[in-house]
Amino acid sequence: MATTSRKDSLTYAIVGTGAVGGLYGACLQKAGHTVHFLAHSDAEYIAQHGLEVESPWGDISLPQVHVYSRTNDMPACDVVCVCLKSTMNHLLPRLLPPLLHPGTVILLMQNGLGAEEEMAALFPSALVAGGLCYVASNKAGPGHIRHIGEGNVLLGAHSNGMQDLINRIRSDFTAAGVPCTVDPSLFDARWRKLVWNIPYNGLSVVLNVETDRIMAHPSSRALVADIMKEVVLGNHACGGTIEEGYIAELMAVTDRLKPYSPSMKLDYEAARPLEVEYIHRRPVAAARAAGFEMARVEALAAELEFLDAQRRGEFAADRKTLNN
């Protein structure tokens, strides 16, 4: 496909050129869209050497990309794809304003619950949507993305009156070779992904195993089912419509997976902050506000916060503060 920009096409900003942003941004640029990439540690490398993606969809080599280390140097775009971990969302009030014009779509391609509401409150002149990415991908090195499998994106509108734009974005992703669909209920779509993310991300860290080991033992397998049921009931308390049969469907899918380390386990092993707030704490708070207690999920969140602090050496700093 051509790599020159089409004048009538949407322009895209990729905030976070990692395993997710690097993959989808590269696909969009290869398909002919103007794409501006925000990178961090490898911005200079990408500027000099370009972006490489290994993928079962076909490898992509982009020798020249628009890459930046600061959003202040980037132009405003039609669609801003936020591909940072939710642990970095506190930076978005500073990062996003230079990228926005009236009517820009902020597309949150993240895990968890509640970020769309935050962005809509912070940027009332923008349109806000969610992008749920079902992808196995990692960053193999500077400017080098290794896409392992899957990759479909589910889009959902948060703001009113943006269905035509959502459909244009879906068409852009589809034309770029990315399987992409639109869900009429972003709310239920977010909760559906949480039914898998809450137990498997959390237990893979707490038990220090991959998904196949979790599913192989009767006790951990039963615990997954119990946590999933609690998440579904939390969704119902909040007005959602996820069917209980969805639990068996997800567990069957996980049974068929090769041994897999969810993203939270990878973050834990690399001593990066864990996405406990948006994946675990926010759903617990939403369900509690609706009158339902997600006790198992709350206990799992507490364990993860303990392990996260211990892994990243925060206990030593806490003890020093207490002793002073």
Give residue-wise pLDDT tens across range 4-31: 345 579 999 999 999 999 999 999 999 9
Summarize the confidence of residues 298-317 as an average pLDDT. Answer: 87
What's the CA gap between 140 and 145, in Å, rounded? 6
The pTM score is 0.91
What pLDDT score was predicted for residue 82? 98
Q: Which two tokens stand for residue 304?
A: 């993860």
Summarize the confidence of residues 164-168 as an average pLDDT. Answer: 97
DSSP state of 288: H
* Domains defined along the chain, listed by start: 12-184 (3.40.50.720), 188-314 (1.10.1040.10)
Summarize the confidence of residues 34-46 as an average pLDDT. Answer: 96
Dihedral angle at the C-alpha atoms of 164, 147, 231, 131, nearest 10 degrees? -20
What residues are labeled active site?
193
Summarize the confidence of residues 154-176 as an average pLDDT. Answer: 97
What pLDDT score was predicted for residue 260? 86
What pLDDT score was predicted for residue 315? 55
Q: Which residue has the tokens 């898998």?
A: 196
Closest residue by Cα to residue 23 from 63, 64, 51: 51
Residues 6+ apart with CB under 8 A from 117: 158
Summarize the confidence of residues 85-106 as an average pLDDT. Answer: 97
What pLDDT score was predicted for residue 316? 52
pLDDT at 34 over 70: yes
What's the CA gap between 71 and 38, in Å, rounded? 7
